Structures are given as structure tokens and as C-alpha cells.
Amino acid sequence: MHESRAGRAAEVAAWANATASLVVGAGVFALFQAWIAALAAAVAVFVLLRVALAHRIAIWISAALGTVSVAAIGGVVSWLFSHMIDRPSVPIIAGVLGAILAGLLPGWSYVSLARRRTDEIPDSLLDAWRVPSSR
């Protein structure tokens, strides 16, 4: 990835899209067979979410799926581990705070990429061969 804020934003967005595709694959796996789930996850990450990152309006589809999936995983993990504290309200509060904190970084990265799409500035997700490689 490029050694700039946009490069970091592109990398975080790519990982959030991968997380969203895994969530889609897990949902399909719960309903259908494993090979269909693998196919759905691959199509979601490599086709739909990647193409959505290329357009300044469609990036919000990818942003919604990526940010919500990362935030949901953060909230569930926080909620799960907060059950070690013997207070009835702690898991709910920890789950909400975990989801908010986990969703901040992907949200920032998608907003940063959306600004770059509006200004039509290339980055490593669109023009990988033009952007200098990292060290």
C-alpha cells in the first residue's frame, strides 16, 4: 500500500471489505452448503465490494457493509468477554462501546476514500500500478 493516509485508508477499507465478505459467506453457510458459501464470499469481496469502491456514490454500499460487519464483530466480542464482570448492565454497555470503537477506523477509511473519489485522486485500490510501492 502507498505510504500515505490514503494508502492506510485503502488498506483498512480492503480489510473491512474482506470481513464483510466473510460475514456474507457465514450467513450463506448457515442457510446452504459450504461450496455455495465460499462462492458467495468470493463474489462479494472480489466483485461487488471491490467494484463499489471504484465509484464515489457506490462506495457507500461498501462502506455500510464493511463498517457494520467490523462493528458487529467488535460489539459481539466485547459483549462476550464482558460477561466475566458480575454486573447485569456491563455486557450491554460493553457491546455498544465495542461496536462503536470497532467501527471508527473503517468508517474513517471509507470517508477518506470517498473524498478521494470525489476529487478523482487515484489510489492503490484503483491504480495499483501507478502508485509507488511501499518499502
3-state secondary structure at position 80: helix
CA distance 20 to 17: 5
CA distance 47 to 68: 19
The pLDDT value given to residue 131: 46
Instruction: Kindly report, residue by residue over 23-43, the tens digit of the pLDDT.
Output: 877 777 777 777 777 787 777
Instruction: Kindly report, residue by residue over 85-133, the tens digit of the pLDDT.
Output: 888 899 999 999 999 999 999 998 888 888 887 777 666 566 554 445 5
CA distance 88 to 93: 10
pTM assigned to the model = 0.72
Between 16 and 3, the more confident residue is 16
**C-beta separation of 128 from 25 below 8 A:** no
Sign of CA dihedral 29, 34, 39, 42: positive
